[in-house]
Amino acid sequence: MTDQLFPTRIKNAMNNVNEPSGEPRWLSDAEREAWKALSLMQLQLTARLGQALSGSGLSYQDYTVLAGLTDDPDGRMRVVEFSRQLGWEKSRVSHHVSRMIERGLVTRASCPTDKRGAFVVITDEGRRAIEAAAPGHVATVRKFFIDLLEESQVEAIQEIADTVLANLKANCDDR
């Protein structure tokens, strides 16, 4: 019916690299709507999580970084590892960490085994900040996401994401 995002109405395919011959396989309504709904959900959800955190003085991104650090016994993590785990560009990690350093939430430390490397280390202040924010944050995630879903749906998400991520990793370079 509607053809937003992947318009079925557009029929004059030009410069079509991936489907060099003939008509491309357009998405069905169901496929298109599912992708749209998922994108919208993710946007609204992260916006909501961020706004619920606002009282704590942490952004959702700050929280994510600090949570990553508390996962390590020594409260530290390599920049490159953040980049991978969060799906952030390395420069994004670097810039964001710089900002967090200015606020006293984390520190940088050099890596003894790889002299190029740098650790991000959580400070006491950073630890206090996430400890204060965590219960409220988890409650928000529950209220707006987890508690709305059946266990099977959580499993479905995991399976889907794993499949997609594995495929992305397998095709890192090619277009």
Partner DNA sequence: GACTGATTGTTGAGATATCAACTACCTCTA
Partner DNA sequence: TAGAGGTAGTTGATATCTCAACAATCAGTC
Binding site residues, DNA, CB under 7 A = 47, 50-51, 54, 59, 61, 78-81, 83, 88-99, 108, 111, 114-119
Residue span binding a second copy (CB under 8 A) among the ranges 94-102, 104-112, 113-121, 165-173: 165-173
The DSSP result for the chain, as a single string, is ----SS-TT-----S-SSS-SS---PPPHHHHHHHHHHHHHHHHHHHHHHHHHGGGT--HHHHHHHHHHHTSTTSEEEHHHHHHHHT--HHHHHHHHHHHHHTTSEEEEE-SS-TT-EEEEE-HHHHHHHHHHHHHHHHHHHHHTGGGS-HHHHHHHHHHHHHHHHHHHHTSS--
We find the least distance from the C-beta atom of residue 47 to a second copy, in angstroms, to be 7
Q: Say which entry of a second copy, DNA, none residue 94 contacts (CB below 5 to 8 A, set by partner kind).
A: DNA
Residue span binding a second copy (CB under 8 A) among the ranges 93-101, 102-110, 112-120, 155-163: 155-163
| Nearest residue to 109 via CA among 91, 95, 122, 100 | 122
Q: Residue 87 or 104: which CB sits closer to a second copy?
A: 87
- Is residue 95 part of the contact set for a second copy (CB under 8 A)? no
Among 59, 110, 141, 173, which residue sits at the site for a second copy (rule: CB under 8 A)? 141
Q: Say which entry of DNA, a second copy, none residue 22 contacts (CB below 5 to 8 A, set by partner kind).
A: none
- Is residue 104 part of the contact set for a second copy (CB under 8 A)? no
We find the least distance from the C-beta atom of residue 21 to a second copy, in angstroms, to be 11
